[in-house]
Structure 1
Amino acid sequence: MKKKLSMLLAVGLLVSGITACGVKSEGSQANANEIKIGINYELSGGVASYGQSSVDGIMLAIDEINAAGGIDGKKLVPVKYDNKSEPAEAVILANKLISQDKVLAILGPATSGSFKSEVSVAEKKKVPVISGSATADDVTVDKTGKKDYAFRICYTDSFQGTAMANFASQNLSAKKAVIVKDSSSDYAKGLAENFIKTFKDAGGTIVGEEAYVAKDKDFNAILTKIKDLDFDVIYLPGYYEEAGLIIKQARALGIDKPILGADGFDSPDLTSLAGAGALSKVYFTNHYSSLDKDPTVIKFIDDFKKKYNKEPNAFHALGYDLAKFLADGIKRSKSLDSEALKEALASTTDFTGVTGSFSIDENHNPVKAIVIVGLENGVQATAVRSGK
């Protein structure tokens, strides 16, 4: 009887253990001494500058966290892969990170297209994924509803477009604008749409719209059309690869009006493509400025320079905040389970980072301010912060 009872108890415990394991998300971790974090970024390919900068910031933050004892004594272990700036590759790596590497969460990708591709994996596997720079409006909420496991710490494209239109009207006294956008990019189209609406609502007029396609090199045809128009500003939503060349060619044609852009301008490659001399009266919405005198920003800049021997840009700052945001969520979740982490991230309030303080709203977006950076001879000369 005792033997039979012992066997029944053993079977019961086994079934109980299987059931307990069965309710855990794939991101649950068994090793109590470390916390594996996936890093799925564009380290090569067309937008490698964003991915490389983001990962530099992430690694600085992870090094600091681990040097301070980790999270409740557990060290963060980054598992890093290059998605080659390809959305399809980002999906493959997300599956690998979750199913094979057993990460608790994934940081990245940097761009909206690749991040949105990864979100489908996150929703299925029930593992949080977080981007520092995926700004498309439909990243965390689309026509099918809210994505429970997708988060970001950057503002949306609609906010960027609106903020820049207000800046053009109020700070530059612009009444007439020309739009030059990448017709192959949802990022550019979303920014342009919101800029146009807000600019018109403020009494402005769009006097011309021109389009190009990613990877184009010669923009003289569309710039020649623009040159003879009567306008106050050019709004150029797009990435640095084309923006740098457009600005260079515009200035060479004698177009000296202010050129306005978005966070896609923020790359050291913008200067190498356009030339410092062409980058005056250039303004773009951004997440951070090195001109900020906040002690948190000053310390970050000093620490970054010590580690990498270069000035940090906004993507470095976003990567840094991204890792710190995740660490804060893990600490508050008091668990190495992805489901508990998701709930902790969603309840974040008053997180203080290099790119500003924020709380996460009901759609997993941060409520935060935006910075509008002004360049003169390729150097940041002004930074205007716009409210939340």
Structure 2
Amino acid sequence: MILKRVSAIAISMLMAVSMAGCGAKAPSNEGEGASVATNGEGTIKIGLITPKTGSVAQYGIAVDNATALAVKEINEAGGINGREIELISYDNKGDATESINLFNRLVDNDEIVALLGPVISSNALAIGPLADEKGIPMITPTGTSLDITPGYDYVYRACYTDPYQGSIMAKFANENLKVKTASILYNTGSDYSVGLAEAFKETFEAAGGTITNYEGYTADDKEFKAVLTNIKAGSPEVLFIPDYYNTVGLIAGQVKEVGLDTIMLGGDGWDGVQENYGELVEGSYFVNHYAADDTAEIVKNFVDNYTEMFEGTRPNAFAALGYDATKILAAAIEKAGTEDKAAIKDAIAATDMDCVTGHVTFDENGDPQKSVTILKMKDGVSVLETKVQ
């Protein structure tokens, strides 16, 4: 862990030196700053680094939209201690080097008091050491990599970690589904997939369950029938596939083709699987950060307001986490009663509030302690099954 941490810091510093530094969407100029609130004296400047273009733009735009909604609501309610938030949002295109450049620009030129983002784990890993070194409070809405927060006093996240959700899904399989056998099929080249797979295996076996197959594939693989046939021979009650929805859809189709009769399980990377693969994953379960059909008032209000602001677009989990991260940060600044960054950091650490994705407190690493939502695919859509603490 120490070696990894030192490496992250060294890489980030070297990169910094070498480079120097929906409807009614929030303003965006593909890398240029965009202020949601009125510019001028008395505003509280908060930075946002998120991909609005590039291969992961769908995630970044959801966060950008939800952050704009949260800032709009806060400002319309009187701002923070009577002062409006000025949100300065930049497009990093999902690139770590670009993220470092934009972070330096936000700190040195824009003079932000705190940072929301980055959205992608690799980008958050690049910025975390710099934020801590410069004493800039940072909350990544959706960076799930285990290494983002430990050892950094100024770095927090609104989402749970990869191993945490893997363990929760194993707990759900054991305690809720009452299954005793499981197979795991994971992407060996993805830290996300590996982290979930290892955590699921450890927790499931610790509860007395048996892993009948622990099989890997690469990101380039498109043919899974041979490995699925091996898994079929073990007759697992559930098959855990911790990957992103496009790959899951491809695997799910071949699960049907080989006649593997099992319940498929997944992580938050499944969010979106219902769009094109709902029929293939019917009856499956996956971990997520919230359920849009949750009847809790805070969730209903968020979904309604987001849908209205962005012309019928249904907010996904990235949006919910972006919204929560903004509300957490704003509440901390208000509680601190000052723009002193150390005071804001301490106020974030003391968070104890209801959010769209659950009631949030933080542990010593800056990771949220909250319930995890389990969704079930039913009639082609994801619906709330339960929440696991």
Contact 1:279 1:377 in 2 (8 A): no
Deviations along 1:127-147, one digit per CA (max 9) or x if unpaired, are: 111112222222211xxxx20
Q: CA deviation at 1:193?
A: 1.0
Q: CA deviation at 1:378?
A: 2.6
Contact 1:154 1:366 in 2 (8 A): yes
Q: CA deviation at 1:164?
A: 0.5
Residue 383 (structure 1) aligns with: 385
Residue 52 (structure 2) aligns with: 43
Contact 1:244 1:271 in 2 (8 A): no
Q: CA deviation at 1:72?
A: 2.0
Counterparts of 2:337 and 2:228 in 1: how far apart (Å)?
56
Q: CA deviation at 1:74?
A: 1.7
Out of 230, 236, 257, the residue aligned to residue 231 of structure 1 is 236
Residue 216 to residue 165, structure 1, CA distance change in 2 (3 Å): same
Structure 1 unaligned blocks of 5 or more: 1-30
Residue 174 (structure 2) aligns with: 169
Counterparts of 2:255 and 2:271 in 1: how far apart (Å)?
19
Q: CA deviation at 1:221?
A: 4.1
Out of 164, 184, 189, the residue aligned to residue 184 of structure 1 is 189
Q: CA deviation at 1:215?
A: 5.4
Residue 272 to residue 287, structure 1, CA distance change in 2 (3 Å): closer
Question: Which runs of structure 2 are paired with 1:271-350 in the superposition (5 Å)?
Answer: 271-273=274-276, 275-308=277-310, 309-348=312-351, 350=352
Structure 2 unaligned blocks of 5 or more: 1-39
Residue 162 (structure 2) aligns with: 157
Residue 250 to residue 84, structure 1, CA distance change in 2 (3 Å): farther
Residue 382 to residue 339, structure 1, CA distance change in 2 (3 Å): closer
Q: Among the aligned pairs, what percent are the same residue? A: 40
Q: Which amino acid aligns with 1:213?
A: T
Out of 42, 55, 76, the residue aligned to residue 33 of structure 1 is 42
SS of the residue 2:174 aligns to = helix
Contact 1:215 1:242 in 2 (8 A): no
Q: CA deviation at 1:116?
A: 1.3
Counterparts of 1:80 and 1:221 in 2: how far apart (Å)?
46
Residue 19 (structure 1) aligns with: none
Deviations along 1:46-84, one digit per CA (max 9) or x if unpaired, are: 333222212221111011111122112222122112222
Question: Normalising by structure 1, what TM-score?
Answer: 0.85
Q: Which amino acid aligns with 1:337?
A: D
How many pairs are equivalent? 350
Residue 294 to residue 203, structure 1, CA distance change in 2 (3 Å): same
The reply to whether residue 118 of structure 1 matches residue 120 of structure 2 is no
Counterparts of 1:377 and 1:334 in 2: how far apart (Å)?
49
SS of the residue 1:277 aligns to = coil
Question: Which runs of structure 2 are paired with 1:1-150 in the superposition (5 Å)?
Answer: 32-141=41-150, 146-150=151-155
SS of the residue 1:38 aligns to = strand
Q: Which amino acid aligns with 1:172?
A: L
Q: CA deviation at 1:166?
A: 1.1
Counterparts of 2:384 and 2:82 in 1: how far apart (Å)?
42
Indicate the larger mover: 246-255 or 204-213: 246-255
Indicate the larger mover: 281-290 or 37-46: 37-46
Contact 2:279 2:379 in 1 (8 A): yes
Counterparts of 1:183 and 1:46 in 2: how far apart (Å)?
21
Counterparts of 2:95 and 2:104 in 1: how far apart (Å)?
15
Residue 214 to residue 90, structure 1, CA distance change in 2 (3 Å): farther
Counterparts of 1:287 and 1:186 in 2: how far apart (Å)?
19
Q: CA deviation at 1:120?
A: 1.5
SS of the residue 2:184 aligns to = strand
Residue 384 to residue 211, structure 1, CA distance change in 2 (3 Å): same
Counterparts of 1:172 and 1:234 in 2: how far apart (Å)?
13
Residue 233 to residue 78, structure 1, CA distance change in 2 (3 Å): same
Q: CA deviation at 1:287?
A: 1.3
Q: Which amino acid aligns with 1:136?
A: S
Q: Which amino acid aligns with 2:325?
A: L
Answer with 1 or 2: which has the greater Rg.
1
SS of the residue 2:279 aligns to = helix
Residue 39 to residue 205, structure 1, CA distance change in 2 (3 Å): same
Counterparts of 2:202 and 2:55 in 1: how far apart (Å)?
30
Counterparts of 1:220 and 1:86 in 2: how far apart (Å)?
34
Q: CA deviation at 1:216?
A: 4.3
Indicate the larger mover: 60-69 or 131-140: 131-140
Moved over 6 A (4+): none
Deviations along 1:143-167, one digit per CA (max 9) or x if unpaired, are: xxx2011001222222211111011
Residue 74 to residue 217, structure 1, CA distance change in 2 (3 Å): farther
